[in-house]
Structure 1
Amino acid sequence: MSADVKTELTPFDDINVTPMLDLAYVLLVVFIILTTASVQGVKVRSPVTQAANNLAKPQTRAITITADGAVYLDAYPVSMEQLSASLAQYKAANPALPVVLKADATAQYDKVMQVLEVAKKLDITEIGLVTKRAQSE
């Protein structure tokens, strides 16, 4: 007769958690990327122009004017007085303060002029106007 082959079941001493940690790290990275990508500020429809170089420099402050006339400084709603005070503080820290003005195409022209007047009073000369690039035909 043949000898009985005895199979012995041994319990696992440890569980390999490396694949589970790999999955956790991938999910963490995806969560971080999606969270930071979703914070973009206030959405407006920018007017269309042929200008191509509308790049903001580091330390640039963004002023946004929505279609209903609300004014935002770096995605925070502000009044004209608050805008003037905040820009004065930034200007004191950085004399060559660059500012980017991003207004909705249907925004009131008066609001845009008020913001430009605030910048003029504070002697802010580096102002960029954000627009969309026109489609070439």
Structure 2
Amino acid sequence: MAMNLPSSRGRGRRAPMADINVTPLVDVMLVLLIIFMVTAPLLTAGVPVNLPDARAKALDQEQKPVEVSLDETGRIFIDKDEIGEDALPVRLAAIAASRAVGQGPQIFLRADRKLDYGRVMRVMGELNRAGLNRVALVTVEGGGDAAQ
């Protein structure tokens, strides 16, 4: 029985290697499998969330932010002045123009938890249309049902 072993004598050529080393391939596949197993549960968006409650800390502010509030009846307030829905775009454009230096003002949006989500999104759309993109949603600190 003769085996085809590479040797140093002869013509100086080595015999072609017919084996494939699959160990690195298996290692890479196992790492990719672990990455997909960890990230797949994070991609689901069906988690029920109670949005008005949060455990976040207060944001550090350089200047006083503008507060836009919606009460439980849907009335809109800028700081403490009541604004009609038809006058809101004009007032927001004035705020954006008066503070056009730098990034623009920080907006705190406070909305009652009983309001329709579409109503809050209409106000956020008006903020975006006016160029006021630094919007923070204000929530109750503690994550409990303290504000009921």
TM-score (norm 2): 0.55
Partner of 2:129: 121
Amino acid at match of 2:71: T
Q: 1:56 to 1:122 in 2, by over 3 A?
A: same
Distance 1:48 1:56, change over 3 A: farther
What is the rounded CA distance, in whole Å, between the counterparts of 1:130 and 1:56 in structure 2?
14
In structure 2, the partner of 1:49 is 54
Alignment of 1:15-30 (within 5 A): none
- Report what 2:7 is aligned to: none
Give 4+ residue runs of structure 1 displaced > 6 Å after superposition: none
Name the % identity. 20
- Aligned partners of 2:90, 2:141: CA distance in 1, in Å? 33
The correspondence of residues 1-137 of structure 1 with structure 2, limited to 5 A, is 47-54=52-59, 57-95=62-100, 96-134=104-142
Sort the Cα spacing of 1:47 and 1:115 in 2 relative to 1 into closer, same or farther, 3 A. same
Work out which structure has the larger RCO, using CA pairs closer than 8 Å and 6 or more positions apart in sequence: 1
Once the two structures are superposed, residues 72-93 of structure 1 have per-residue CA deviations (whole angstroms, 9 ceiling, x without a partner) of 1111111222121111111111
Cα distance in 2 for residues equivalent to 1:50 and 1:135: 5
Instruction: Give, in whole Å, the separation in 2 of the partners of 1:112 and 1:78.
Output: 15
Distance (whole Å) between structure 2 residues aligned to residue 131 and residue 112 of structure 1: 14
CA radius of gyration, larger in: 2
Amino acid at match of 1:90: I
- Deviation of 1:57 after TM superposition, in Å, equals 5.0
Q: Please tell me the residue identity of whatever aligns with 1:50.
A: R
Partner AA of 1:101 in structure 2:
L
Q: Structure 1 CA distance, aligned partners of 2:135 and 2:86?
A: 19
8 Å CA contact 1:65–1:111 kept in 2: the answer is no
- 5+ residue gaps in structure 2? 1-50
